[in-house]
Structure 1
């Protein structure tokens, strides 16, 4: 059971529990040989080693981090989410030094992971963002929760894009390109695109959906009859303003939702509820400041449901 943490202190996911996703394996990189190149439509191309990057200072960014899931099953919930304290430097610090030219409109992020994916060979993992978004939001991280990045999490450097799905946070970062167009890469044009609610054309998988997840109880957990504290986490691109909890298909009851933190962190929600002996199904449903509500089914951010067994007199 997760220890209760004051709302002012973000609860970080232990590194051993942070999900790992990779498309083409984990590259074996030596930080002594590694460099980061910033090039393309810039006045001053850069090539930085880790010492040069560290000389820019170290900033910290607490943020939730969510996996979109399989690009071939965009409506299947994965509920892979963590909260991490990243340490590194904002991308803006490098862009200020490189000085993007007036024609620059997009930023490409290239990782060191190469190989085959879904029957296609000779691929390199590349993602892109509009220049204004990248300058404002992208963080270049070399540490997680106070430790150097582990190999599976992007050592020695990765991009982090708060409030966007993890597919945009390129690991094993080696190259940043300023361009006047989007990157022509299978991971930008073919994979990780979806039709958003109310739209008819494909859009890149970027901003996260409003969502919530149970932390306690676990699915299948056995509980003692009586008052039970139900607790989870909710997140979105903006503040989560309400979380409803439904037991056995009953009415939605308002949980207590912690206020948002100072950064792009998730919000804890709780409800103490009396549960009688027997099996129960418990659902949680979040609503954000923009008015978005989790759908009941049929979407990757559909409401999370757990089943528990309650024993007692």
Structure 2
């Protein structure tokens, strides 16, 4: 998986500037698609197969969605934290409008999303990037987006159209979308059934990586930074599949203290938290942990969403 690093720490703003958005490409080189020649095919278990060009897609009812967008991390190291995360405003056409035109057949249970990127990964060649979702959930949630933060998608982020699957890890939001297939079953593929799976807590069969975990990230002060000694405000962002209901912050060996937390609102966005504290001259360790509406709490370690820790020097 090729990665282009974003800003070392996501800016403490509600919307992440697109120039600070992380880039993850599994198959190189990323395609450079011509918008005038682009088409989206909808096929498989449908009554009316579709071939939509960009004007036809844009002629359907449009909607806006603001959502947190988080990279799961390396599929070969699913327990290693990355905290590559952003909060973005997408605009496009809800998938259900396209599916209504295609008339899914009663036996359809799954939707496959295929991108235009092609290449090799993990020793396999001739791959297309492919993901799948249950039909009912995809119909309710997925957006076919052609803008981000009010501007056309940049080429490296999926121009001209990408799928956006809110409340799910970004691996499910297929870039350079060109093909949608309805099927009775999941596709057997490197990126669906062999990678991007994990064993749920407590054990059992591996499950596809979909719903985001409860997580939080300290944004101020930055890790390794120097800050003035004295009064200080610790800030960050928290997010989850469901709303985050509390965030706690600990400084050095002090106990967990509740931070002020902004509500999530109607969209699945990240939530800002803040806690005033006083830092004496010298080194300090600051931690944060979030709890969501399901009662899930960030674990202390050993997981991709482990408690976030930064170290700073007060001078």
One fold, TM greater than 0.5? yes
Distance 1:81 1:256 in 2: 21
What is the match of residue 233 of structure 1?
Answer: 237
Matched residue, 1:38? 42
Q: Is the 8 A contact 1:2 1:216 kept in 2?
A: no
Taking the aligned partners of 1:137 and 1:4, their CA distance within structure 2 comes to 27
| CA–CA distance in structure 2, aligned partners of residues 209 and 197 of structure 1 | 12
Structure 1 partner of 2:204 = 200
TM-fit CA distance, 1:4: 7.2
**4+ runs deviating over 6 angstroms:** 1-5
Does 1:90 pair with 2:94? yes
What is residue 187 of structure 1 aligned with on the other side? 191
Distance 2:108 2:155 in 1: 32
In structure 2, the partner of 1:287 is 291
1:161-187 per-residue CA deviation (whole Å, 9 max, x = no partner) reads: 011001100000000000000012111
- Of 178, 181, 188, the match for 2:182: 178
Q: Given the alignment of the two structures, is residue 215 of structure 1 paired with residue 215 of structure 2, yes or no?
A: no
Stretches of structure 2 lacking an aligned partner (at least 5 in a row): 1-8
Kindly indicate whether residue 16 of structure 2 is the aligned counterpart of residue 13 of structure 1: yes
SS at match of 2:23: coil
Q: Is the 8 A contact 1:214 1:233 kept in 2?
A: yes
- CA distance in 2 between counterparts of 1:237 and 1:19 reads 20
Alpha-carbon distance, 1:199 to partner: 2.6
Asked if structure 1 preserves the Cα contact closer than 8 Å seen for 2:69 and 2:169, the reply is yes
Change (3 A) 1:16 1:253: same
Structure 1 segments unaligned to the other structure (5+ residues): 6-10
The TM-score, its normalising length taken from structure 1, stands at: 0.96
C-alpha contact (below 8 Å) 2:61/2:97 kept by paired residues: no
Aligned length: 306
Q: 1:184 to 1:2 in 2, by over 3 A?
A: closer
* Contact map agreement 2:218 2:235 (CA 8 A) in 1: yes
Task: Report the Cα distance in structure 1 between the residues aligned to 2:68 and 2:91, rounded to whole angstroms.
Answer: 14
Contact 1:41 1:101 in 2 (8 A): yes
Over the aligned positions, Cα root-mean-square deviation in angstroms equals: 1.3
2:280 to 240, 251, 276: 276
